[in-house]
Structure 1
Amino acid sequence: MPDLLPALPDSEFRRVLCVVAHPDDVEYGTSSAVAVWTARGVEVAYLVLTRGEAGMDASPPDRTREIRTREQITGSAAVGVTDVRFLEHPDGVLEYGLPLRRDIARRIREYRPDVVLTGSWEIEFVAGLNMADHRVAGLATLDAVRDAGNRWVFTELLDDDGLEPWQVRWFLVSGDPRATHGVEVTDEALQAGVASLEAHEEYLAGLPGHPAPKDMLPMIAGLQGRAMGVEHAVLFRAYDLQAPPPLFD
């Protein structure tokens, strides 16, 4: 029998920044863990890199942008998050590069989180083949965490904006099949997570055959809970960036 995954040592979390490509990306399970944290008084903010304007085939981008922005704000509030920032990078063709890294590093220095959370940048992740925007967002966030702590990278953030370097303690990746830790999710937090995804009503209505959030999210959380030996959980690959480096033989 495989060893059970340990609980994420999140009792000392004070401020978490979630960085994702699109409106709704946090809501596919991760928001239930967010609900656990906000209920405990942890400050959580979202940085959404696009407005998701290319995500609804039957709706033109200008209308879709308004819908998905509104639905994201509503969904975030369902799990106790009111600090939601949107960038204006183009949906569907999000590009890895210095402008994106700079924008994410700027927000990290502004918000000064002890935890940054993003999605997997692997080609294959827990839901199958990962899309390009998700991969770009994850990798750019990883690099921006280091950029935020280096005063000699993007020096204009300090010289022009007065944003001092900031060292993040924990880096969390959702959707990684090599999860190392989990967050046990209460029924209340799970239901809040369901409500956060249900808030994306118009977006989900345009996805034929999409399962109801009230059916899908408890199933996913139940499967992930088995890895911890609990009823429901959200799993992450967790990196303690301030831990001593591992020793090699």
Structure 2
Amino acid sequence: MWTVDELLPALPEDWERCLAVAAHPDDIEYGAASAIARWTAQGKQVTYLLATRGEAGIDAMHPDQAAPLREEEQRAGAREVGVDVVEFLDHRDGVVEYGSDLRRDIVRAIRRHRPDVIVSGAFTVRMVGGMTNQADHRAVGLATLDAARDAGNRWIFPELVDEGLPPWGGVRYVCFAGAERPTHGVDVTGEPLQRGIASLAAHAE
């Protein structure tokens, strides 16, 4: 049986803080939750940042009802993998736009949390397995990539410095779960995999 390390180089784990950025509740669970379970078990600090509350994700439920339900499901899923802090940016589900507003919001979170590693979803049209990627995923993934760079430049979004958020240039790795051509892997054999599955099961709707 192949191990992850035999298929792909292992992502280095000599770091302390991670920010996981996604478009919707359950996106992290489908792509990275088991890796996050491994990392929190090592004592690493992981924070979730969601661009939307997933309010447009349940066809039979009005967004005003779906948003709090999906928020609670996300918080429950995060707890399953050892994540206590879940934040929402409140962009509109289904029509998230790549642009300076989204980048600024993500930069603000990066400067507050000062992560060494950022995890997001693939921003390409195609994902692993050839699946077509959803528009919100693409917008958030690309904005996250750019925000990781923007966070270290005081002259990009200088108003954040006025908010007491100095530049943070300490991001070492930006990782994209579900990328069509992955370059690194994380071995989630055993308990991390089971905890990742439990986190996905928290999303009953």
Match for 2:133: what amino acid?
A: N
Q: 1:44 maps to what in 2?
A: 46
Contact 1:46/1:85, CA 8 A, preserved across alignment: yes
Contact 2:31/2:178, CA 8 A, preserved across alignment: no
Q: Percent identity?
A: 58
- Give runs of aligned pairs for residues 75-94 of structure 1, distance below 5 A: 75-94=77-96
Match for 2:186: what amino acid?
A: V
1:99 is aligned to 2:104: no
- Give runs of aligned pairs for residues 122-141 of structure 1, distance below 5 A: 122-127=124-129, 128-141=131-144
CA RMSD in angstroms, aligned pairs only: 0.9
Q: 2:154 maps to what in 1?
A: 151
How many residue pairs end up in the alignment? 198
Q: 2:198 maps to what in 1?
A: 195
TM-score by length of 2: 0.94
Q: 2:72 maps to what in 1?
A: 70
Task: Show structure 1 runs of 4+ deviating over 6 A.
Answer: none
Structure with bigger RCO (C-alpha 8 Å, 6+ apart): 2
1:176 is aligned to 2:179: yes
1:82 CA displacement? 0.5
Q: 1:165 maps to what in 2?
A: 167
CA distance in 2, matches of 1:122, 1:41: 32
Contact 2:102/2:143, CA 8 A, preserved across alignment: yes
TM-score by length of 1: 0.78
Contact 1:16/1:115, CA 8 A, preserved across alignment: yes
Structure 2: segments with no counterpart, 5+ residues? 1-5
Greater CA drift, 125-134 or 63-72: 125-134
Which protein has the bigger strand share? 1
Structure 1: segments with no counterpart, 5+ residues? 204-249
Match for 2:192: what amino acid?
A: A
1:29 CA displacement? 3.7
Deviations 1:166-186 (A, max 9, x none): 011111111112111111113
